[in-house]
Amino acid sequence: MLLKSLTALILFACAIAQGFGQEINTFSYGEHPRQKLDVLTPPSASKAPVVIFLHGGGWIRGDKRIYQYVQRRLAKEGIVSVSANYRLSPEAVFPAFVKDGAQVVSWTRDNISKHGGDPENIYLMGHSAGAHTVAMLGMDETYLKEVGVDKSSIKGVIPIAAPLLLKSSQVPQLSFVFGGVPDNEMWPLAFIDGSEPPFLLLQGEKDPLVQPIHSQVAEKMIKEKGGRVTARYFKNHDHMTIIGAFSPKYESRGDIMAPITTMIFGK
């Protein structure tokens, strides 16, 4: 069922993405073939807020080209977007995904002003495996420090359908992804101290893969540490339709753009 939903969404997303290619500029942020990112700038953008998006796919699949419709939707709100690929398993092992994400943030901070974006107004957003990565970047500042980025540049983190309770010891079938790393090194919630950027957790209540408990526990833990967090639960969204809601096809099941624009623009 989930595989069928994923396949249907990929086909749908690829169809939407056609026609937007000329508006998107692609750049390399590293030497690996997967270390590329796409930038989409709204017309006449100047010092606009920036959203960095990392796709899902269980750390083994996925491509930024599939999610051009997400960038298109952000552009309609006047948001500059950076959508990035990253190295995948089994070739890559944690924390390669997070290190790639940090490199994307570094590239964005250094270059986005040339594309109408504000390097001091960056938001991190990801879906599923990508949401786990942006949560790691937001909660464990080690990775950003390694690339010379101060976490103050990150104004918010938006994990969508994020597997925030995932621990490598409990999922041995993902050993090729996490390489047996101790739980406290790959579990984002282990790093909560109340100083992390504001978090916006977006979660579908019908998600069979990443159930609402993931966001519920994260919300509770961040609040207990004095951090800033907002959670939105959508009763009609599942794991795939919640990211599909950036398109008109699934937006009617629950508008996830509203809380995103509220976080970014305060409206």
Token pair belonging to 15 = 């169809």
Give the per-residue pLDDT at 17: 46
**The pLDDT of residue 11:** 53
pLDDT for 41: 96
Q: What pLDDT does 97 receive?
A: 98
Mean pLDDT of 34-42: 97
Per-residue confidence at 150, pLDDT binned at 50, 70, 90? Answer: very high
Number of domains in the chain: 1
Using the predicted structure, report yes or no on whether residue 59 has a pLDDT greater than 80.
yes
What are the distances in angstroms from CA 254 to CA 16, 58, 94, 259?
A: 19, 24, 33, 11
Please answer whether residues 13 and 250 qualify as being in contact, where contact means their C-beta atoms are separated by less than 8 angstroms. Answer: no
- Please state the rounded mean pLDDT for residues 190-205: 97
Average pLDDT over residues 24-35: 97
| Burial class of residue 260 in the structure, from the number of CB atoms within 10 Å of its CB (0-12 exposed, 13-18 middle, 19+ buried) | buried
DSSP strand pairing (80-84 vs 48-54): parallel
d(CA 236, CA 99) in angstroms, rounded, equals 34
CA proximity to 58, closest of 130, 1, 106 = 130
C-alpha distance from residue 163 to each of 25, 56, 68 (Å): 30, 11, 23
pLDDT, tens only, 221-234: 999 999 999 999 99
Separation of alpha carbons 114 and 227, rounded Å: 33
- What secondary structure does DSSP assign to 55-74, as a single string? --STTT---GGGGHHHHHHH
What's the confidence (pLDDT) of residue 143?
98
Q: Are 57 and 87 in contact (CB under 8 A)?
A: no
Distance CA 67, CA 72 (A): 9
Decide if 203 contacts 214 (C-beta within 8 A). Answer: yes
Segment 84-102, tens digit of pLDDT: 999 999 999 999 999 999 9
Confidence check: pLDDT of 266 > 50? yes
Q: Which domain holds residue 38?
A: 2-265
pLDDT surpassing 90 at residue 48: yes
Are 162 and 135 in contact, with CB atoms under 8 Å apart?
yes
Say if residue 5's pLDDT is above 60: no
3-state secondary structure of 93: coil
Query: Which pair of tokens denotes residue 192?
Result: 């909560």
Q: Contact 74/82 with Cβ under 8 angstroms?
A: no
The pLDDT confidence band at residue 252, using thresholds 50, 70 and 90, is confident
pLDDT class of 111 with cuts at 50, 70, 90: very high
**What's the CATH number where 105 sits?**
3.40.50.1820
pTM of structure: 0.92
Res. 182: pLDDT tops 70: yes
State the Cα angle at 159 between 56 and 155, rounded to 5°.
Answer: 125
**66, 94, 246: which is closest to 158 by C-alpha?**
246
**pLDDT of the residue at 14:** 53
pLDDT at 267: 66
> How large is the average pLDDT for residues 153-158?
97
| Continuous segment of H or E residues that includes residue 139 | helix 129-139
Residue in this structure with the two tokens 């595989």, named with its chain if needed: 3
